[in-house]
Structure 1
Amino acid sequence: MIAMQYSFTLPADYDMTIIDRRIHDKGPMLDGFSNLGFKAYLSARKGEFGSRENLYAPFYLWKQPEGASDFLTGAGFEGLTQSFGWPQVRHWMVWNAEVADLRDAKFASCDILPIPAYAPLAEMRKEEVTRSDAEAARRGVLASISGFEPSGWSLVRFTLYRDMPLTSNGDQIYRVGHVSLP
């Protein structure tokens, strides 16, 4: 599995209802996409839930790399880049993915952490699987994903929630506008 996210930082005075409308109109187009685990259409408004910026930042879980490749080379992504620009697409090899019924997902959190040089990766993986499993067991958690990428050495922790999460570690909190499922 592969986790993937790109993010567009929008101007502070950007009318975020444009993003809400885009998610509403275009979100269902990815429902049933081949090799998709899920796509969470995420947005954040400056000043809401501690966000410092207006963001549009979808997060994907792909069952197979071909799904990500098909999406990124397809017309939908091309249209997105024509509207918002050419994003950096971050991706991680998934260490653990606990996913329940995502139809009630309303909020998400994402934390991207650096992995120190020479870190004990096998130990980190084991700890992340345990942490992700424990997170998934919490009330209101609908998905908990952890993974890593070895080119820039980062760790991702992504969680989908039914209700607004209580966080204290500075994770970016998003609203979920739509979830596309296989």
Structure 2
Amino acid sequence: MIAMQYKILLPEDYDMNTIRKRVAVNGKKTDGFQDLLFKAYLITENKSEEKGSHNQYSPLYLWKDSIGMNKFIFDGFYNNILDSFGWQNIKISIPLICILENDFINSKYVIEIEKEILPATHMKSLDFSLIFHNCTGRVLIYNPDKWKCSEYYFFTNKPTSNNIGILYNILHLSM
């Protein structure tokens, strides 16, 4: 499996309804896409009550295989991002743990926690740092090139308190 995400930081005065409309029209185009386990169309807004929030569009993909990812990037599908937002760096990571519950498809929110992987003399496996009893899914990815990892916690209802990471709204979830 391969995780892929690009984070598009948008101007403070950007109308996020533009992204909502874009996803409403185009989101279903990735439903059933070759080798795609899921794509979560994620946004944050600077108008939210979350501390340090800003306007951002940050789709998160989990690919079963690189063939579908390569098709998405090089066969014209990613051109929609290039045409709308210009050249974006795509963060590529390796999924270590992926737990999707039966109600994962109903997820509406995601908390992302980014961490450094500290130097060590003996490697040991990474694990989730938090326990949420109402998660619909959990994904832990890492990038050994940058020695960073990200934890994603999916929810159907908005978590009550989030001072631990980035809270995203899911506009659409393709599977």
1:138: how far off?
1.5
Q: Which runs of 5+ in 2 are unaligned?
A: none
Q: Deviations over 1:59-117 (max 9, x none)?
A: 11111122222111132211211110111111211110001233311111112211122
Query: Are 1:151 and 2:145 counterparts?
Result: yes
Return the match for 1:106 from 105, 108, 119. 108
1:119: how far off?
6.3
Change (3 A) 1:65 1:46: same
Q: Deviations over 1:129-176 (max 9, x none)?
A: xx38x74x712x11100021111111111121111123232x111110
Change (3 A) 1:32 1:51: farther
Amino acid at match of 1:57: S
Amino acid at match of 1:42: L
SS of residue paired to 2:125: helix
Return the match for 1:167 from 152, 162, 166. 162
Q: TM-score, normalised by structure 1?
A: 0.87
The structure whose residues are more often helix, as a share, is 1
SS of residue paired to 1:75: coil
1:56: how far off?
0.3
Amino acid at match of 1:138: H
Q: Deviations over 1:38-66 (max 9, x none)?
A: 00001110141234310000011111122
Number of residue pairs aligned between Structure 1 and Structure 2: 172
**RMSD of equivalent CA atoms:** 1.7
SS of residue paired to 2:77: helix
SS of residue paired to 1:167: coil
SS of residue paired to 2:46: coil
1:120: how far off?
4.1
Aligned equivalent of 2:60: 59
Q: Which stretch shows the higher mean deviation, 55-64 or 106-115?
A: 106-115
SS of residue paired to 1:76: coil
1:124: how far off?
3.5
CA distance in 2, matches of 1:40, 1:119: 36
CA distance in 2, matches of 1:79, 1:12: 22
Amino acid at match of 2:171: G
Q: Which runs of 5+ in 1 are unaligned?
A: none
Change (3 A) 1:52 1:168: closer
Aligned equivalent of 1:117: 119
Aligned equivalent of 1:177: 171
Aligned equivalent of 2:30: 30
| Identical counterparts, % of pairs | 27
Change (3 A) 1:4 1:120: farther
Q: Is the 8 A contact 1:102 1:179 kept in 2?
A: no
Q: TM-score, normalised by structure 2?
A: 0.91
